[in-house]
Amino acid sequence: MQTSADLLAFLREVRLFTVFAETDLAALAQRLSERTLKKNQVLFREGDPGDEMFLIRRGSVLVSKIIKGRVEQLLNRMSPGEFFGEMSLLDGSPRSATIQAEGEVMLLVLGRKSLNQLTETSPHAAAALFHAMVRVFMERLRLADARLTEATRWGLEATGLDVEPR
Amino acid sequence: MTPREPSSSTERPARPVPAKLELLVRHDDDSFELREIGSSLGFVQSRPQRIRDGAFEISDVQSRVAGEQSSILKNTETERFLLLTEHERFLWELMDGNTSLQEIATAYVLKYGEFDFDIIPNLIRKLQRAQLLTLTPRSRLRKVLARNRRQRLAKAVEATLLGLERINISSRNVHGFFQALYRAGGFLLFTRATVVACVALAVLGTVAQVALLREVADVFSGFGGHAIRGVLLVKLLLFASVALHQFVHGLACVHYGRRVREFGFTFLHGFVPTFYVDVTDIFMASRRARVVTAVSGALVHLVLGALWFIVGANAPMGSFTQAFATASGIIQLQALAVALYPFCFIEMDGYHVFVDLLGVPTLKHDALAYVKALVTGRTRLRRTRLEFLWIGYVLVSALSIAVFIASNVWLIHSAIS
């Protein structure tokens, strides 16, 4: 994929890359590929193998985890500028959730091979990327805590479980 | 699940917004739909499951005043009791684990033609506290505490629970003692011969009492300069007789095949030292069994009072023995009256018999609440039988306490002067 001015302009606006120098951003952009999804298309399912991470350029995706059968819990909606799939990219584990396009979606893809090349040829850019990712991870951890608390509240309210002081 | 954004302090709602769960449900053709399910919806679709059959007992109580039927529900494992109204009993029967709260509420409306929005949550709360619904994980707390013994708080809570358990264990051992006492001769108390003997003693005691009270001034002169000491000794013996009273309750409970849960000593209302026996298991027996169990304990005071009067009547006139025996007889009769008289704001044996016969187990509570509301203007006088009963109970009880205090003042004055 050629590094277009549009792509660089888009990457500059992404929170993940706000601290990137122009050269680092250009180095990263060269290693990104594009992928499009149709409406309702599943990119990958929970448990699938994977070694790529994705950055949403257009559209939005749903992040869900199986509860039972065909019922999944909707964990998140991701919109342009947000990324996902980094866990399998970094540790090689199966996908932890299912990603499905809500409408027409365009993604930017960073594969493991490209990430390794980036780390070797542009270590400064790779360090900036990892540093930015860690900050996002912390935000997601806080969000997961809030979601856990809310799930507990939902359970208590739904079952009518008596937990008030006696 | 959608975590809510924190609200500012000025916009904090009185009650939190019900939590929501977002689900993605897939169809056969790879399409899907998103569903947002509020916790309130989860609640109405939940299926409360009462504890297994055999782990509870239920007994009917018929009100003869308001015509309503109540039920006493007992958790046989935790020994906890719950009073259910007729409407609550209907809901309880539906809590089989297969019927949703929404279906239960619909059935309620069809049956009674009305719906009280608080009745189901309130009943569920009551049932949970009595551990009568299976959704309460009773033993999990102990497991959690055991896992976290390194934490001081968890260790302290576990130690406290263990301490409370030890008290319960000692109380559970009481039943065997009462069974042994019953087999060793206690059963004789519940024979026709004993009833005849009681009646004979009561007659003889009444005759002796009348003879003594004709010359009460001379009789109490036997205390001489030791009136205070004599009255204190009389009270001490009364205290001992209360223990005997409780033993007979326990024996009656065993007689009807129910369990004596506890026997001990406590401070009634926090300051009156007394012995007590827990025979609440008799609630699950017949009405006759409940009445006999309640009355038999009190009859101890009738027997002792009669014996004291007979002793007094046969003692030398004006002697300490006669004065002491007469005072003891009077105190025993007072104890009998207090135990059997239902109108004294204290839930003694007579009160339990009275409310059992009427079928209004919450009489005192309801009467006091109603009269308080009436006095403070929070409710109006409605001329129903039940409300007249409540007013009558409060008036007669207040008058009875005044008479009781006056008679004791007279008794002490007679003994001292």
- Minimal Cα distance from A102: which residue of B? B32
Site from B24, B32, B46, B104 to mutate, A interface, most A CB atoms within 10 angstroms:
B24
Place of tokens 């992040």: A63
Show the CA angle centred on residue B268, arms to residues B262 and B269, nearest 5°. Answer: 130
- pLDDT digit string (tens) for B352-399? 888 878 877 668 877 888 888 888 887 778 778 888 899 999 999 999
pLDDT at B308: 93
Number of helices (H) and strands (E), helices first, in chain A? 5, 8
Is the overall model pTM greater than 0.95, yes or no? no
CA-to-CA distance for B1 and B3, rounded, in angstroms? 6
CA-to-CA distance for A1 and A33, rounded, in angstroms? 6
CA-to-CA distance for B145 and A124, rounded, in angstroms? 50
Residues of A in contact with B132 (CB under 8 A): none
Which of B26, B39, B128 is closest, CB to CB, to A162?
A: B128
pLDDT at A5: 83
Q: Which of B342, B338, B337, B366 is closest to B356 using CA atoms? A: B342
Q: Which residue ranges of chain B lie beneath pLDDT 70?
A: 1-16, 63-67, 135-143, 145-147, 149, 161-172, 266-273, 361-362, 415, 417
CA-to-CA distance for A116 and B114, rounded, in angstroms? 70
Query: Assign residue B232 a region: left if phi > 0, alpha if psi is -120 to 50, beta otherwise?
Result: alpha
pLDDT at B218: 82
- pLDDT digit string (tens) for B53-62? 888 888 887 7
Which of B18, B25, B135 is closest, CB to CB, to A161?
A: B135
- Indicate the SS3 state at residue A3: coil
- pLDDT digit string (tens) for A51-80? 999 999 999 999 999 988 888 999 999 999
Show the CA angle centred on residue B70, arms to residues B69 and B72, nearest 5°. Answer: 150
CA-to-CA distance for B208 and B211, rounded, in angstroms? 5
- Interface contact flag, B20 A154, Cβ < 8 Å: yes
| Residue B288: HSE in the Cβ half-sphere, 13 Å Cα cutoff | 3
pLDDT at B139: 44
Largest CA distance in chain A: 68
Q: Which of A98, A161, A91, A108 is closest to B23 using CA atoms? A: A98
> Mean pLDDT score of chain A, rounded to an integer?
88
What is the DSSP secondary-structure string of B355-383? HHHHT-TTHHHHHHHHHHHHHTTSS----
CA B129 to chain centre: 17
- Indicate the SS3 state at residue B105: helix
Model ipTM over 0.85 = no
Q: Where are the alpha helices (DSSP H) in B74-191?
A: 86-94, 101-112, 119-129, 140-147, 152-172, 174-183
pLDDT at B361: 67
Cβ neighbour number for residue A76 with a 10 Å cutoff? 20
Beta-strand ranges (E) seen in chain A are: 33-37, 42-44, 52-58, 61-68, 71-78, 83-84, 98-101, 105-111
Residues of A in contact with B2 (CB under 8 A): 150
- pLDDT digit string (tens) for B250-266? 999 999 998 887 787 76
- Minimal Cα distance from B49: which residue of A? A159
Q: Which helix (H) or strand (E) holds B62?
A: strand B56-62
pLDDT at A35: 95
What DSSP designation does B99 have?
S
Place of tokens 């046969």: B314
**Contact at 8 Å (CB) between A84 and A101?**
no
Q: Is any Cβ of chain A less than 8 angstroms from the Cβ of B32? A: yes
- Provide the chain B residues 104-163 that lie in CB contact (below 8 A) with chain A: 121, 124-125, 128-129, 135-136
